[in-house]
Structure 1
C-alpha cells in the first residue's frame, strides 16, 4: 500500500484545510517545493498535490508552485484541482506530472473522463469527495445528489488508474479515517481505491492495511505528517507490512 504525502496549495503556500473550508487554512510551508524535497528525502514514493484555489476557480491557479515541485523532485506526482479539460491534462503531463485527478468534471462531464482515459491511458484518476456519502463538487462548496459509489461505477470500464475517495467531514480534522466506508466502496469496484481524509495515527494506517484486500492500494496523509503525529519511517513500514 502506497502512502501519499499531501501538499495542498493555496496562494502559493503548502497548507492544510479543516473539513475543506478555505478560511480554515493552516500554512505549513511557504516553499512547497522544499516540502516536496523533504518528503522525497523521507523515503516516500509518490506525491499528492491539490491546487485548492484552482478547485474553486475551475482552472489552474498554483501552477508556478506545481512546476517548481516537478523540477525539484523526481517522485511520481499526482495533481487535482481545477483540471477541467483535455488541454489542461496534456499541459500537466507534458511538464512531468504522472497522474491528473479529475473531480468536479467527473460529475458534470463524465464523458470527458472517458475521453481522457483513452487519450492518456494510465494517467487519469478520479477524485470522489463525499459528504455523508454524497459527492461534493466545486472545491467541496456544493454537495450533489449523486452517491459516491454510483459515480465510481460509471468509470469501471474506461481505464481510470485509481479512485481517490475523501471523506470531507474527516479531512484535516485528525478524527480517524473512515475505514468502513472506504473499504465498502473499494469492495464494489475493480478500480484501485486510495483512501483520504482524517488519517491521524499509525493505528489508522494499520486499520487500512487490514482491509487492503478490498482493493485499497493507497492512502493520503497531510496534517498528521506535518505536525508529527505520524512518523514517516514508521508509517512506511506499516504499509509495507513490516
Structure 2
C-alpha cells in the first residue's frame, strides 16, 4: 500500500463484515486510524484484531443505528473520543436488505429499512459534516446500489433507499462542498464473498455484463479508498459505479 490515507481518522459504519469490513481493512492498510462500527461486538473485535495484527490502527464502537438522531449522535461522539479528535472520513455503509416485493412489505418493515438505510446516515452526516467543515474539511462516502437505477422485480423498498442515498450524495455535495467537505458515493454491483467450488444464484445477475463475474468486497474497498484520498480531490457529487459494467453496457453474444 502507498499510505494514501496516512494520519487520517475514519469512521466506517457496518464494518464488521463483507463490504464494510473490506473498506475498514483497506483504510487501515493505507495508514488511517479506523473506527470499526456495528452491532456485533464479537465480529467487531475480530476485525480490529486483524487490522492491529497487520500493524494498522483500529478501534471498535458498537452501534445500533436505528435511524434516531440520538443513535447517530452517540456513535459520532464515541468515534471522536476513540480517535482523540475529529473525523476526517465518514463512510455511510451500514444497511439492511430484507427480501420481499411491494405487495408483501408491511409498514413495520418499510419504516425499519428507511430508518437504517436513510435516516441513520442522514443524522450521522448531520452530526459530522459541520464538524468536518469547521476543522477545515473532510470527505463523506455513501454506498448506493446498482438496483437504484437498473430495477429488478424484487427489492423495490431497498432500491428506493439506495436511490435516496445517491440523491443525498449530490445534495450534500452542493451543501457541504463549498465548506471543504467532499461528498461522493460508490454504487456496488453484485458483490459476494467468494465460496470456492460453490455456485451462487447471484451469478445469473452478471450474465451479459462486460466483467461476466461476481464482484468481491475488495473491489468496492479500492474505489472507496480512491474517493477518500487526495487523488479524488476534484470529485464532488459523483456516484462511482463499481458493478462490472452492469448499469453501463450489455454484452450480446454473437
Q: TM-score, normalised by structure 1?
A: 0.39
More helix as a share of residues? 2
More strand as a share of residues? 1
Find the structure with the greater CA-based Rg: 2
